[in-house]
Amino acid sequence: TVSRLKPFGETIFAEMSALAVKHQAINLGQGFPDADGPSSMLDAACAAINGGRNQYPPGLGVPELRTAVAAHQARHYGLHYDPDTEVLITVGATEAIAGAVVGLVEPGSEVVLIEPYYDSYAATVAMAGAVRRTVPMVADGDGFRLDRTRLAEAFGPKTTAIIVNSPHNPTGTVLGTDDLQAIADLCIEHDVIVIADEVYEHLLFDGRTHTSIATLPGMRERTVRISSAAKTFNCTGWKVGWLSGPPELVVGARSAKQFMSFVGSGPFQPAVAHALNHEMDWVAESAASLQRKRDLISGALAEAGFVVHRSEATYFVCADPRPLGYDDAATLCRELPAKIGVAAVPISAFVDDPQPWRHLVRFAFAKNDESLIEGARRLARL
Ligand code: PMP
Ligand code: GLN
C-alpha cells in the first residue's frame, strides 16, 4: 500500500461487519437496510436485464436516469439541471465523491471536512494529493451543531473545496439553513467549491425538511450535489449514485470518473430512473418507518443506560456508554459482538482527533423490527 493510503487501513464498516458475521451478532454497525426497495424497481431491473440492456451504458449514464435525476431535483428543490451536461451517473455516491475530489481539487490544495466525517472523504482527499482541514462539530444539548468560528478559521488561501454532508452520517444531524448559509458565505468569500453529500436527503424525521446548499443564492454555480439510490431505495448493493452541478464542475468530475470505473452498472440505471419517477411515496413510508425504528432503538439504548443523542435523520443514532462504565467506544465495539451479540461502530473512526469523540458509539437502525427488538434485549445485558 502506498504511504498516502496506509493510514486508512480497512474500513471500520468491513471490520465490524466481519465481526458481526463471526459472532452471529445483530449488525447495528454497517449502515445498510435488511429489506428490499420497492418491488416495481426490482422488476424494472429484471426487465432491463432480460431486455438485453447488459452492455456498457453511455459514459454520463443512461439518458432516462439523467432525466429522472434532473426532474427529481426540479420537483423537490426547484433546482434545474440539464440532464445532458449537468448530471453524471456514478458508481454510488462513493464514486461521485471520489470523482469530484480527484477531478476538481489540485494536489497540495486544502479541502475542509466537518468532523465526524464519512470515512471515504479523507481517503479520497489523500488520493488527490490534497490536504484536509478538519472542523469538529460540537455537542449542543442532546444534538450536535457546527462550530462557525472554527469553520471560518479553516478557510484560507489554499482552500479549494469543502465537503458538506447533511443529513449527517454518523450523528444524524440536519444542518439548518443558518449553518448552510454560514458555509455558503465562506465559500463565496474564498472562492471555494462545495461537494454536497446529500445521500440521506429523504430520510428526515419529526417533520424536518432538507435544504440543499445548492439552493442558496450564489451556490448553484459552485456546488456539486451528490446523492445515491442506495439509502433512498434500499439498494446499497446496486451502487447507483449521481452528481449534478454546473457543466465545468461535472466535466472535472467526469474526467476522473471515466478512468475510475468508465461507466456504472447498466441495467440498474433504468430501474432507479423508474423509482425516482414513481416510487417517492414508498420513500416517504420508508422514512416514517425509520423514524419509528429510531424511537425503538433510542428508547432501548436509554433503557440500557446509554446517554442517547438526538437523531434527526439518516440511519444512525449516537449514544454515550460512559454511564455503563465504558469510556472507549473503539474497544467496546470490538468487544460487543462476542460479548452480547451486537455490532456497532465507534465514532472515533470518523475523526482525526479522537479525543472529544472517543466515548461515542453509532448504532444503525435500518433493520427489521425483530432484529432491533432482539438487539435491544441484548444491549440490556451490558
Ligand atoms: N456518503 C455517506 C454520508 C454515506 O453514508 C454513504 C453510505 N451510503 C455514502 C456516501 C456512500 O454511498 P454509496 O453506497 O451510494 O456509494
Ligand atoms: N454508508 C454506510 C455506513 O455509514 C456503509 C458504507 C460502507 O460500508 N462503506 O455505515
* ipTM entry: 0.97
Ligand that lies nearest to the alpha carbon of residue 93, given by its number in the listed order: 1
What would the mean pLDDT of 283-307 be, rounded to a whole number?
Answer: 97
Q: Does ligand 1 come within 6 angstroms of the Cβ of 241?
A: yes
pLDDT for 103-123, tens place per residue? Answer: 999 999 999 999 999 999 999
**How much is the pLDDT for 10?**
87
**How much is the pLDDT for 9?**
86
Collect all residues with Cβ–Cβ distance below 8 Å to 312 and sequence separation of at least 6. 143, 167, 172, 173, 174, 204, 205, 206, 208
Instruction: Kindly state the percentage of the chain with pLDDT values over 70.
Output: 100
The minimum-distance atom of ligand 1 relative to the CA of 165 is 3
Q: Does ligand 1 come within 6 angstroms of the Cβ of 169?
A: yes
The mean pLDDT value of the chain amounts to 97
Which domains are seen in the chain, by residue range?
6-37+281-379 (3.90.1150.10), 56-278 (3.40.640.10)
Q: Does ligand 2 come within 6 angstroms of the Cβ of 169?
A: yes
Ligand that lies nearest to the alpha carbon of residue 241, given by its number in the listed order: 1
Q: Does ligand 1 come within 6 angstroms of the Cβ of 199?
A: yes
Strand partners, 159: 110
CA 49 – ligand 2 centroid, Å: 27
**How much is the pLDDT for 55?**
97
Strand partners, 113: 134, 163
Collect all residues with Cβ–Cβ distance below 8 Å to 36 and sequence separation of at least 6. 42, 234, 235
What would the mean pLDDT of 333-357 be, rounded to a whole number?
Answer: 95
Cis peptide upstream of residue 346 (ω within 30 degrees of 0): no
Q: Does ligand 2 come within 6 angstroms of the Cβ of 30?
A: yes
Q: Does ligand 1 come within 6 angstroms of the Cβ of 267?
A: no
CA 6 – ligand 2 centroid, Å: 20
What predicted TM-score, i.e. pTM, was given to this entire model? 0.97
Collect all residues with Cβ–Cβ distance below 8 Å to 158 and sequence separation of at least 6. 108, 109, 110, 131
Q: Does ligand 2 come within 6 angstroms of the Cβ of 13?
A: yes
CA 95 – ligand 2 centroid, Å: 13
Q: Does ligand 2 come within 6 angstroms of the Cβ of 200?
A: no
What would the mean pLDDT of 258-266 be, rounded to a whole number?
Answer: 96
pLDDT for 204-249, tens place per residue? Answer: 999 999 999 999 999 999 999 999 999 999 999 999 999 999 999 9
Q: Which residue has the cell 472542523?
A: 135
CA 67 – ligand 1 centroid, Å: 22
Strand partners, 115: 136
The minimum-distance atom of ligand 1 relative to the CA of 240 is 15
Distance CA 172, CA 363 (A): 11
